[in-house]
Structure formats: C-alpha cells, structure tokens
Structure 1
Amino acid sequence: MSEAAPPAPIASAGAVAPLGVEEYIEQAHFFGMLAERLAANAPAQEVLASAREEVLATTKLPMAIDFLLSELRHSGVMASAMTKLSHYFTPLQAYIVGEGENERGRFDLRVGLEVLAREAAYRAGMTPGSTRVPTLQGLFLYQFEVLCRNRLGYDKGLTAVAGDPSYPPHWKEWILAIRHQVGIIDIADLIYVQSDHAAKRGGASRTPLFGDQEGRIALANRKKDPLYLFNSLHRQLGYPEPPRTQRVSGDENPIPQMARRLEQLEKRVKLLEEEQRGGFDLTKFYAKPPTASE
C-alpha cells in the first residue's frame, strides 16, 4: 500500500507572516467577504458589524474591525483607521483602501479588497493551486504587480511597500531605491541584477534578493512587456496573481443611459427655446385650481 502524499507546506509565522498565520487566514476571509458583499450593494457598516461576529475571536481582527466600524461611522472611510492601526495593518493595505475610497480616483474599492484578500491568503500559505511556501520574493512581486496593473503610482505605492514589517532593512533600502527607476529601467532588469542567477554570472549584486529561478525568468523577459514577466512567474513559480478589473457588461454599460439622458435634455431645451420664441404655450398644460364648490 502506497504512503499518502505529504501535506502541502504551510508558511510559518516568520518573515512573510509577522502577525502569525492565524491572523492572515482571518484577514483573507474578512477582505474577501467584504468585497463580495459590497459588490451586492450591502451597506458597509452592516457588513463590518456582521464580519465582527464571523471572524475568529481568538485573533486581533475583531478589535481591528471595531475600530474600522467606529471610524467609518464618524468619517465615512476606513483607510484612516487602517493607518492608525499600523501595528496590525500594513501601509500598503491602508494605501490600497484609501485609493479605492478616493472619489476622484478610478480604482475600484472592491478590487482593492480582493487584492488584500489574496495577499493575506498568500501570507498564510493558502494560494489556490500552489503548494510552495510563501517567500519575500513572491510577496514583493505580487505587490509590485498590483501597483503596475492598477496604475496606483510607483512613488507612493513602493513607499508603502517598503513600510511592510515583513521586509528586512536591505529589502527596504532596495525598494525605496527603485521608486524612481521604475519606468526608466525595466523591472526585469531590476530583478535580474539582484538575482542569484546574475551573481553566478558575475552580476553586480553580492547579496542577491532573488533566487536563481527569478533571475532566469527575468533574463528571458528583458525588453518585453512586464505582463509577460508576471505571467511567467505565475506559471513557473506559483506566485499569486492579482485580481483583474471586471469589464463592464452590456447591461451595465453607462453609455446608453447617458444617451437617453441627453435626449431628455435636448427635448427640454427645445421646449424652452419654443417658449422663448412664443411658439409654444405652456399655459395649456396648467391644471385649473379646484373651486370651493368642488
């Protein structure tokens, strides 16, 4: 009788999961549930109150939800509360929620919550279809791809990434250094020169941040669209893939609605123009006031 296959490795409460795996399992459930119910147009305050009862009481997340709910009732946003809870939520989590809550921005809060749910699941070692142990390399590449795909700004975004307590000082220094290099230098080149593969070939970095596989994949995708690099990392190394913004379906297309409103405005303008020229008498539409006998 053959022996059973060993269980998939789970990340320990180390660098990738500084709060402990249990916390990130509950965070993944919380952010995913919040995104799903907000998509169904459920009130945010009711969703938070319900989530408070659902999450595991032995974690610190219920207390964090209480503070989020209090801040939401007073100011109408959650990002400020997440910023104040910097010992629990990372700067990138607060930044993504803040961008989603920004009325002038184009980033969907529901997509942002799904981004946070997948990140928390990766930290907890729960990425679907992958049995690899979470790493700092996978965490950074996921966060960078989120900034890239959603155009969230490299300067503020990478500053928030560098504030993550998961990264040691040499990682933080490198992340802050590439803030102004991204866009001028390909991300594939930035990864390659910091890889073990480049070090073996006489590369510039003596203390590589990325492994041999990341270096070889980056080398193969130089001078190509960065999306090809990310897709290769997903296939070869099982790194998590950020959620994509859903395209608007035909039923939800706002253009026909705008066209109908323009037609209504045109009709109203025509009525006003005819009235100004005296060619249209609005008095015939006036209702006669009721008399005392009625």
Structure 2
Amino acid sequence: MPQPLLDRSEYVEQAYLYQVLRERVDIEMPMQELLEQIRYELLTTTNLPLAIDYLLTELKHSGQMAPAMKKLAHYFTPFQAYLVEEAEKESGRFTMGTALQVLEGEAKYRTTAHNEAGLFFYHFEVLCRNRLNYDRGLTAISNDPTFDRKWAQWILMLRAQVGLVDIADLLFLASDEYRVKMEEAGQSTDGKGPFLFGRKEGRIALGNRRREPLFLFAAMQRHLDYPTVPRPKPADENKDVIPQLMRRMERLESRIKLMEEERRAGIDITKFYAERDGSDSSGAADVQ
C-alpha cells in the first residue's frame, strides 16, 4: 500500500540534503562522513535526521544506502531507493552524482504545486535518458504515493507496452484530447481510458508521433515545467593527458642527458652495473 505524502518541510530538507551531498561528493569524501557532517545542518523538527541515522547504520554494516531506504518505505519513495540502488552498482553507468541531482530536482518539485503528469514525465524521462531498467523503474514509479490506483494501473500497463508501442500513442490514448475527439465524432468512450492527461499533453503527444522520444520529453518539460533531467556526461578523455605528457617529458630529459654525456666524453656505462660487479666479485672471492 502506498505511503502517505510527507509534509512540505520534509521535502525542503531532502532537497537540501541531496544538494549538499552532490556538491561535496566531488571531493571524494566517504558517504558516511558526508552524512555525519550534514546531519547536524538539517532541521531537527523533521524526520530526516532520524532517517540519516538509519542510513548511517546500514552504511557501516553493508556499505550501501539502498537497503535502508527500502526499509524506510514510509519516508523514502520506491523510486528514490531504486535510483540509489542503481547508482551503488559497481557495473552500472548511472553515477551517484547523477542520482543525487535527480533526487534534488524531484524533492524541489514536490515542494511546489506539482501534478501527477509532471512527476510521471520527470521519472520516466530519467529512466529513458539514463537507460535504466524499465521494468523495475516503472514498478517503482507506480508505487509512488502521488499516484492513485488508476495511475498505478496505467503505469504498470505502460511497463508491458513500452518498446512495443510508440510512447506518444500511449500518452495520446490516455489524454482528454483523445476523449474529446471521440465525443466530437459521436463515438462512445466506454472501455476507453483512463484519461489521466489533459488536452495539452494529448496535443503534444499527437504532434510527436513517430518522432524521437527525446523531442516529446523536451516539449513536455517546456509546457509542464517539471525539473530538467540531467543529461549523462561523456567520459572525460583528457584527464590523463597531462600525466602522460609528464612521463614523456621525463623520458626525453633522460635521453637528452645521455646524448650530452656522449658528446662530451662518452657514456660511462659502468656506473649502471658497478654495484652489481662489486657484489659478483665479492661473491667470487667467497667461493675461492
């Protein structure tokens, strides 16, 4: 059963937590130390400090936060726990920095007059842009307390249809724009729906049929004004350039020194094995 929605102050503190973690995670401090520091900065009249205590306990035992977030289902949503779980996977490409940025945007959006459509598109775009698992991700979204039974059933239906049917078609069939067109044509709406999206969302979906889904998400974000989903950043291939140049410079310097010695008086190669010869001669003396 979905947990009730939290008070606005809880989401304000959650947004601050994710923001500070995202800003400080780049300094490569352990997550445990970061949480211990930030805990004292949070508002004590909220339940977030208590939740952090539980997260710290799980971090000390297993080194992960996702299991604790799943157990705190009355405070953290299943989608929040799913994002952290994906970020903690060693083999995944979904980084903790991206997860914290997504969670920060979601928490800030919940502090405003958000609606179900905007929150759904934000979550679904996160799955698409970061190539996360649709089955597990949409299941987590359907269990969000913001969505009622009709929304949850439709999201689970989408989980079975995604990849087989154009997402724009599915959105249009679940919009008031489709219902109005059927009524204008004198057709019955029995057995259709549920009509969860407004006419605006239906028109956007109709205008993006057979097109790249990213265009659909961009249009929805502009009109519904939900947070911008962070784009995956390509790997920085230039971070190793300077160390490589330094090693090459060292090799060049050593070669130049050898060339200078050769031009002056020749290279005395005995200095490279004098110590070894000494050890060999001493060993030979011992044998004699």
What TM bracket, shorter-length normalisation?
0.7 to 0.9
Determine the C-alpha separation between the residues in 2 that align with 1:41 and 1:108: 13
The residue that corresponds to 2:161 in the other structure is 181
What is the total number of aligned residue pairs between the two structures? Answer: 248
1:83 equivalent in alignment to 2:70? yes
Q: CA deviation at 1:249?
A: 3.6
In structure 2, the gaps of 5 or more residues are 183-188, 248-271, 283-288
The residue that corresponds to 1:42 in the other structure is 29
- The residue identity in structure 2 corresponding to 1:65 is I
Q: CA deviation at 1:250?
A: 4.8
In structure 1, the gaps of 5 or more residues are 1-14, 126-132, 261-281
Which stretch has the larger CA shift, 166-175 or 231-240? 231-240
Does the 8 Å CA contact 1:197/1:212 hold for their aligned counterparts?
A: yes
Distance 1:37 1:187, change over 3 A: same
Q: CA deviation at 1:79?
A: 0.5
The residue that corresponds to 2:19 in the other structure is 32
Determine the C-alpha separation between the residues in 1 that align with 2:8 and 2:275: 70
Greater helix percent: which structure? 2
- The residue identity in structure 2 corresponding to 1:48 is L
1:147 equivalent in alignment to 2:127? yes
Runs ≥4 residues deviating over 6 A: 282-285
TM-score, normalised to structure 2's length? Answer: 0.79
Distance 1:288 1:25, change over 3 A: farther
Q: CA deviation at 1:252?
A: 2.4
Matches within 5 A, 1:269-284: none
Determine the C-alpha separation between the residues in 2 that align with 1:107 and 1:252: 20
Does the 8 Å CA contact 1:83/1:91 hold for their aligned counterparts?
A: yes
Q: CA deviation at 1:253?
A: 5.5
The residue that corresponds to 1:172 in the other structure is 152
Q: CA deviation at 1:86?
A: 0.6
Does the 8 Å CA contact 2:154/2:194 hold for their aligned counterparts?
A: no
- The residue identity in structure 2 corresponding to 1:103 is E
Q: Deviations over 1:80-130 (max 9, x none)?
A: 1101101100111111000000001111111011101100110111xxxxx
Distance 1:284 1:216, change over 3 A: farther
The residue that corresponds to 2:253 in the other structure is none
1:53 equivalent in alignment to 2:33? no
| CA root-mean-square deviation | 2.7
- The residue identity in structure 1 corresponding to 2:218 is N
Determine the C-alpha separation between the residues in 2 that align with 1:40 and 1:153: 29
Which stretch has the larger CA shift, 32-41 or 93-102? 32-41
The residue that corresponds to 2:206 in the other structure is 219
The residue that corresponds to 2:7 in the other structure is 20
Q: CA deviation at 1:185?
A: 1.0
Does the 8 Å CA contact 1:195/1:205 hold for their aligned counterparts?
A: no
Does the 8 Å CA contact 1:195/1:209 hold for their aligned counterparts?
A: yes
Q: CA deviation at 1:247?
A: 3.0
